[in-house]
Structure 1
């Protein structure tokens, strides 16, 4: 046992050093949010603000014109919740169909669905924009939210692999007891894939909260801007960029991300680690 102590000490020192290295950008961002904007990059090698100011948070929260930063957070939360609901409903239902139902071309359509993961967003960006423009959906959340209700290939694949770990005998027993296919989905499968659904929800939250390209393409009114667009507005090519306010609001925008992760991190690990197993 004594021989293992040096190894444990070295291991924890290495892990702790790596954690500090990875967290340093976040720490630098936090400390810089308390610096005067003009001194942020002049004193970039120093973490300690001098002087220590809170005005960046006040200026950042005031937002732009008639719209405070709280408006952008509210818009982002609505955007995230709608997309989250769409992914949970559509992806779980489609994954159940691929994992449990027998229909003509099931493997073919599953392969096609997986192949869409290889398509860069830039390939479909222009065709989608043309379609949504013809539908008169521009400057609204529809182009950003409606596609979520038709599934996401990554989450469908994740849920399919998770559902395959559930014994089919449970489905058969439920059918014998009088359940139809939809009841099997709602009463048997959904309660058993909660870890995978939690993983889907967490990744959807992260990707949607940080999404900048989609809102930039489809949203034109400042009253509908998301957090990522609002942060970009602090930067200007014509006047002086307000780096301090942007860093301050970046810290504010990171709070929901950290809270969600620390609350549901065990579901992320469980959902990913068991989705590749087949029982």
Structure 2
């Protein structure tokens, strides 16, 4: 028989891929040793971003700081000394401003609180019910009515204010709070309806089906399932309604002409007379007083506001 011998090489050649990887690693190590990465560019970019954000924040809050400082300055120094470090402190602007008008300024803040409370209840109840109907109920023309509702967002208030004034004047509602509260009970704020519709659409329909198996109708589903789950959207609606209604000047000026019915924004306007003269110190002081409720509401509700905006529209 013929013996076949197989020669084995104790050092077989390395695969081409392994050699290429080794050379690449060596070149990378050599490049790193020649040009080490420095953390300074990254740190400089971070510092630059923070400095820009701080400067932007200061620019945004400077008018508010100037208003606060001017409210404790004597009236003759408000525009003569525009620095934010007062040389003289005079707190009489607050006492004079509080009692400068026909009623104490608290009377006008109470009127604003009544309008805000009525608007809050109206938007939370009516807008949530309309949103539930658009999100869960099946009825003829639902998409058409939803499109009409969305188009109403684009209508400026100046277009509808004249027909509203004529209607409310015929009803005898001028110089009452009814023109400012009753429309909210009819879900006229389409923005909040759209906000809640997007939130309700993100709630699984399996919850509705499970509730129907337990014998729940639409009313109980709305009250016991939708409303507890929609707390972020409701909080967002409440905060925006409070801020917008408290700061509303145009509508309240149109429908409230009796000084006894003035709200805080209109009362601030009365510090300026027809000749352009103004008690700047008392007016700035009462402006700070009228801002405090908005600041407190935003401070306490910021968490719910961010959560409501972040979760709205998530499917």
TM-score normalised by length of structure 2 = 0.85
Aligned to 2:7: none
Task: Work out the CA distance in 2 between the residues paired with 1:179 and 1:205.
Answer: 33
How far residue 262 of structure 1 moved from its aligned partner, in angstroms, is 1.1
Is 1:133–2:143 an aligned residue pair? Answer: no
Aligned to 1:241: 278
Task: Work out the CA distance in 2 between the residues paired with 1:6 and 1:240.
Answer: 51
State which drifts further: 260-269 or 134-143.
260-269
Distance change (3 Å), C-alpha of 1:236 and 1:119 = same
TM-score normalised by length of structure 1 = 0.95
Give ranges in structure 1 of 5+ residues lacking alignment.
none
Alignment partner of 1:32 out of 65, 70, 89: 70
Is 1:96–2:96 an aligned residue pair? Answer: no
Is 1:272–2:309 an aligned residue pair? Answer: yes
Task: Work out the CA distance in 1 between the residues paired with 2:183 and 2:307.
Answer: 27
Aligned to 1:186: 223
Give ranges in structure 2 of 5+ residues lacking alignment.
1-37
The structure with higher relative contact order (CA 8 Å, sep 6+) is: 1
How far residue 27 of structure 1 moved from its aligned partner, in angstroms, is 0.4
Aligned to 2:46: 8
Task: Work out the CA distance in 2 between the residues paired with 1:179 and 1:131.
Answer: 40
Task: Work out the CA distance in 2 between the residues paired with 1:5 and 1:171.
Answer: 52
How far residue 218 of structure 1 moved from its aligned partner, in angstroms, is 1.1
When the two structures are aligned, how many residues end up with a matched partner? 276
Is 1:142–2:178 an aligned residue pair? Answer: yes
State which drifts further: 14-23 or 122-131.
14-23
Is 1:262–2:299 an aligned residue pair? Answer: yes
Is 1:121–2:157 an aligned residue pair? Answer: yes
State which drifts further: 149-158 or 34-43.
34-43
Structure index of larger Rg: 2
Is 1:21–2:59 an aligned residue pair? Answer: yes
| Residues 188-213 of structure 1 deviation map (CA, whole Å, 9 limit, x = unaligned) | 00000100000000000000000111
What is the root-mean-square deviation in Å for CA atoms of aligned residues? Answer: 1.4
Distance change (3 Å), C-alpha of 1:239 and 1:16 = closer
How far residue 156 of structure 1 moved from its aligned partner, in angstroms, is 0.1
| Residues 196-235 of structure 1 deviation map (CA, whole Å, 9 limit, x = unaligned) | 0000000000000001111111112222110001100111
Task: Work out the CA distance in 1 between the residues paired with 2:290 and 2:206.
Answer: 46
Task: Work out the CA distance in 2 between the residues paired with 1:237 and 1:183.
Answer: 56
Aligned to 2:144: 108
Aligned to 1:77: 113
Task: Work out the CA distance in 2 between the residues paired with 1:240 and 1:49.
Answer: 23
Task: Work out the CA distance in 2 between the residues paired with 1:119 and 1:81.
Answer: 25
